[in-house]
Amino acid sequence: PSVLDSFALLSGQLNTLNKVLKHEKTPLLRNQVIIPLVLSPDRDEEIMRQTEGRVPVFSHEVVPDHLRTKPDPEVEEQEKQLITDAARISPDVAQKQIQSLNKMCSNLLEKISKEERESESGGLRQNKQTFNPADTNALVAAVAFGKGLSNRRPPGSGGSVQAGQPGAAAIIASASGMQQVPMSGAPAQQQPMLAGVQIAQAGQPGKY
């Protein structure tokens, strides 16, 4: 509400000023000349306050710039040249140039927005966590300290197996039924192999 009230106040003052300037009895401002009455090289606090700190002094050096009503001669020449060049271009050519410029600006804006989206998505991907810390900690604890592992071992998984045990008898029986095929360059006497593990001969208890 305060901003709207201030805006309404400024709008009313501008309308009043426009009415005063458009009145027939008001002389044209372009026919008026502004003459500085007081020039001083000393710091003026009032001017500092009015100009919000932009003009500390009102001296002979700054007066020509601040009271200038026309641009520099070089700028005037450039502006005249631009106006002349613009007058030579036909409306169709000007419209094509406008469309080309708008297309270039649209493509540039699309590229900028695409790069912004990619950078945002890349940042999100980098910040997104790809693992579960609880599972990782549990796995490390199980591998390093055996935490959470069962103490029960499957049958036949002990260190030494006696020939009289059922598991050993089954292994020895299956080993005795296997056919030994001598390989070239290998010794004739080979112990039977079962799944890559050397099995002791019947009657010879051993480890596997």
Residue 100 resides in a domain: yes
Q: If you search the block for the tokens 């001083």, which residue do you land on? A: 40
Task: State the pLDDT at residue 126.
Answer: 66
Domain count, the chain: 1
Residue 154 resides in a domain: no
Residue 9 resides in a domain: no
Residue 77 resides in a domain: yes
Separation of alpha carbons 80 and 74, rounded Å: 10
**Average pLDDT of the chain?**
75
For the stretch 56-88, pLDDT in tens is 888 888 888 878 778 888 999 999 999 998 888
The residue with greater pLDDT, 33 or 124, is 33
SS3 121: helix
Task: State the pLDDT at residue 143.
Answer: 87
Residue 111 resides in a domain: yes
The residue with greater pLDDT, 204 or 70, is 70
Q: Does the pLDDT value for residue 193 go beyond 70?
A: no
Residue 204 resides in a domain: no
Given pLDDT bands bounded at 50, 70 and 90, which one contains residue 30? confident
Quick check: 161 and 205 in contact, CB under 8 A? yes
For the stretch 121-179, pLDDT in tens is 776 666 666 778 888 888 888 888 888 777 666 665 554 444 444 444 444 444 444 44
Task: State the pLDDT at residue 200.
Answer: 46
Quick check: 15 and 9 in contact, CB under 8 A? no
Given pLDDT bands bounded at 50, 70 and 90, which one contains residue 36? confident
Residue 38 resides in a domain: no
Which residue segment(s) compose the domain that 93 sits in?
Answer: 71-122
Residue 13 resides in a domain: no
φ, ψ of residue 122 in degrees (nearest 5): -65, -40
Separation of alpha carbons 71 and 164, rounded Å: 114
Separation of alpha carbons 189 and 208, rounded Å: 19
Region label for 185, one of left (φ > 0), alpha (ψ between -120 and 50) or beta (otherwise)? left
CA distances from 61 to 14, 40, 54, 129 (A): 32, 10, 14, 63
For the stretch 162-174, pLDDT in tens is 444 444 444 444 4
Q: Does the pLDDT value for residue 100 go beyond 90?
A: yes
For the chain, the straight-line distance linking the first and the last C-alpha, in angstroms and rounded, comes to: 90
